[in-house]
Amino acid sequence: MAIRLYKEPALVNPVLVACWPGIGNIGLLAVDTLRRLLEAEEFGEIEPWHFFYPRKLLIRHGELKELEFPSNRFFFKKTDSRDLLFFIADEQPSWEGKVYAEGTKAYHMANLVLDVALKFGCRKVFTSGAAVASIHHSMRSRVWAVPNMEHLVAEARSYDNAVLMSDIEGRSGEGNITGLNGLLLGVARKRGIEAICVMGEIPIYLQGFPILYPKASKSVLEVLTAALGVSVDLKDITEFAQRNEQEIDRLYNELPPEAKEQLDKLKHISPARPANARTITEDDKRKILDDVDKFFKKSTKEGGN
Amino acid sequence: MTGHSPCKFYSEPKLPQCSLLVSWMEDAGRLGPTVIGHLNKKLGGRLFCEIEPEGFFQLGGVLVEDNIAQFPESKFYYCPDQQLVIFQGNSPRTEWYKFLNTILDVVEKVGRIAEIYTIGGMVTLAAHTTPRMLLTTANSPEMKSVLGHYDLARDLDYETPPGQRPTISSYLLWVARRRNIRGAAIWVPVPFYLLATGDPRAHRKTVDFLNRRFNLNLDLSEIDEAIHQQNVRIASLANQFPEMDDFLHKLESNITLTDDENSRLVQLMEENLSKEC
């Protein structure tokens, strides 16, 4: 199973930022935006056919010209503060119909990514994803930071707008990170590599919809740039987040009054001390989600597609 | 990928040079399995190898179809007199690249592969009386040139539409090309209302091509008789059900049916034709 490197850049202690798609593509949008703004250069890939079914066929004049697979590409960037590696994937390797990777293939891919990172002297990894939270979409998304080693806890806690699992209501420091954005953390730990996963909060009522949530991506990007000591212009993603919020507002205002009333309660949950500021019960939460689910199912049906 | 062989050999025939025919169980109108079944019967195909399902299929239970429990199959047959190897199987659910390479590995163990042909049905909105044309996709200019000697549609332009995926046959041809094996996909239109009952015209068109390509000397009268029987039965049903007659006339006149009409035609065919044809 091959890794293809088109060139071998000379890098000094690079930090790897890796990401696969997930809920709202929050991590992917953040990491890919960073990669793009830093103008990182592509230098390799994991041969995709071992992991993925092709997604596009091109036939011209009766001849099979091309079979296109989801990409899994490596990039590098030398910055003033540090050298960076990026790994960005179009899909997670999984069984048909499932979004998240699991099992042998996922483990194998995680190890291949780390093989490349280690080859270039990397000793630290960031991954990114989404954190489904009881927040309202008008609120700033926090970033849940999960390190894979005890000594990284202080660093994770130090990021502006970041929280640890123990800061999240009802979690007592526990949870799980589905798919490769989480698995890579574990495999890195097994191989003695420091890693932190940073996850942007997405409102619980938006998690099931196939939309981007750039507000959370922006929060992740802010944490990543601070952690990596790089500076990029966040104007575009800020504007994107604003447009996205306006669109969500538009849909939100079409919700039945009782559902909207329930969701509005989420505005009053304090990010700083969630446990003490609890204004909705578990029953409320279930009712909210049922109402929203019913509303969106109805909207989809009426929309005709 | 490495590991133990996923194949179970029952014998190891030796064919100096062979051509490989491939069909998948999940095929429009079950065209591929019908053609392969016909060839195996007429040419005396002998089972010599299977790919074990473990690692390629989800084995958490069995699927029941038409009252019968199904199980994934991946079987190889050989026809020594014709230097043909035939593969028929279910499309794997994962590890596609490994599975497709395993198919080629098995056949290369038997003999050098001269050519690969995949056989598949494709759904058409045309009437069953419309003359059929075989469509082909070659995996090399050389293969396209070979196909130039036959009456095939060889200049197809196609790009997978959003939300769909390439077929497993196309993937196999791509894998074959990576191994410098020339091959082609043969697609035969099957009218949408015959998907459940089968389409002997599509069957005949395919066998006729293979007959000529490999000098099989097969007698096609049995398939001709099946076509005749189906024609008679459909004509009789059209008399019995005026709306079916109307639908078929529209299709023969290149008039597109509404979704409801399509569904009704399918229902009428499935309820009445499948019982006797």
Question: Considering Cα of A231, then A235, then A238, then A244, what sign does the dihedral take?
Answer: negative
The C-alpha of A55 sits at a distance from chain B's nearest C-alpha, in angstroms, of 5
Q: Stretch B79-90: mean pLDDT, rounded? A: 94
Chain A: which residues have CB within 8 Å of chain B? 1, 49-50, 53-64, 67, 95-96, 105
Q: Stretch B225-244: mean pLDDT, rounded? A: 93
Q: How far is CA A291 from CA A119, A226, A287, A294, B176, in A?
A: 51, 39, 6, 5, 52
Q: Stretch A228-251: mean pLDDT, rounded? A: 95
User: What is the pLDDT confidence band of residue A269, given thresholds at 50, 70 and 90?
Assistant: low
Q: Stretch B134-140: mean pLDDT, rounded? A: 96
Q: Is B169 in the A-facing interface, judged by CB distances under 8 Å?
A: no
Best mutation target, A63, A102, A109, to test chain B (most B CBs within 10 A) = A63
Q: Stretch A150-164: mean pLDDT, rounded? A: 93
User: φ and ψ at B40, to 5 degrees?
Assistant: -60, -40
Contact residues, chain B, for A64 at CB < 8 Å: 137-139, 170, 173-174, 177
Task: Please calculate the CA angle B154-B155-B158 and round it to the nearest 5 degrees.
Answer: 115
Length of chain B measured in residues = 277
Least confident of A118-122, A237-241, B32-36, B270-274: B270-274
The C-alpha of B4 sits at a distance from chain A's nearest C-alpha, in angstroms, of 16
Q: Is B101 in the A-facing interface, judged by CB distances under 8 Å?
A: no
Contact B144 A54 (CB under 8 A): no
**pLDDT reported for residue A98:** 67
Contact B157 A50 (CB under 8 A): no
Mean pLDDT of chain B: 92
> Does A305 score more than 50 pLDDT?
no
Q: Stretch B49-64: mean pLDDT, rounded? A: 87
| Distance from C-alpha of B129 to C-alpha of A94, rounded to nearest angstrom | 43
> Does A138 score more than 70 pLDDT?
yes
| Distance from C-alpha of A168 to C-alpha of A277, rounded to nearest angstrom | 12
> Does A158 score more than 70 pLDDT?
yes
Contact residues, chain B, for A61 at CB < 8 Å: 144, 154-157
> Does A299 score more than 60 pLDDT?
no
The C-alpha of B94 sits at a distance from chain A's nearest C-alpha, in angstroms, of 6
The pLDDT tens digits for B194-206 are 998 899 999 999 9
> Does A100 score more than 90 pLDDT?
no
Contact residues, chain B, for A58 at CB < 8 Å: 158-160
Tell which wins on pLDDT, B163 or B172.
B172
Q: Stretch A231-237: mean pLDDT, rounded? A: 95
Residue B148 burial by CB count (10 A; 0-12/13-18/19+): exposed, middle or buried? Answer: exposed
Tell which wins on pLDDT, A37 or A285.
A37
Contact B153 A62 (CB under 8 A): yes
User: What is the pLDDT confidence band of residue A274, given thresholds at 50, 70 and 90?
Assistant: very low
Q: Least CA distance to A63: which residue of chain B?
A: B138
The pLDDT tens digits for A22-70 are 888 999 999 999 999 999 999 999 999 999 999 999 999 999 999 999 9
**pLDDT reported for residue B116:** 98
**pLDDT reported for residue A43:** 98
Tell which wins on pLDDT, B41 or A290.
B41
User: What is the pLDDT confidence band of residue B4, given thresholds at 50, 70 and 90?
Assistant: low
Q: Least CA distance to A94: which residue of chain B?
A: B94
**pLDDT reported for residue A263:** 84
> Does A302 score more than 80 pLDDT?
no
Structure tokens given for B257: 């049916």
- Across the A/B interface, how many CB contacts are shorter than 8 Å? 72
So what's the ipTM on this one?
Answer: 0.85
**pLDDT reported for residue B277:** 42
| Distance from C-alpha of A60 to C-alpha of A57, rounded to nearest angstrom | 10
Structure tokens given for A159: 């990021």
Q: Stretch B2-6: mean pLDDT, rounded? A: 67
| Antiparallel, parallel or unpaired: β B112-124 and B17-24 | parallel
User: What is the pLDDT confidence band of residue A169, given thresholds at 50, 70 and 90?
Assistant: low
The C-alpha of B139 sits at a distance from chain A's nearest C-alpha, in angstroms, of 5
> Does B47 score more than 70 pLDDT?
yes
Top-ranked range on mean pLDDT: pick from A3-7, A277-281, A284-288:
A3-7
Among the partner-chain residues B58, B153, B158, the one whose CB lies closest to the CB of A57 is B158
User: What is the pLDDT confidence band of residue A276, given thresholds at 50, 70 and 90?
Assistant: very low
**pLDDT reported for residue A140:** 93
Contact B165 A53 (CB under 8 A): yes
The C-alpha of A132 sits at a distance from chain B's nearest C-alpha, in angstroms, of 27
The C-alpha of B155 sits at a distance from chain A's nearest C-alpha, in angstroms, of 4
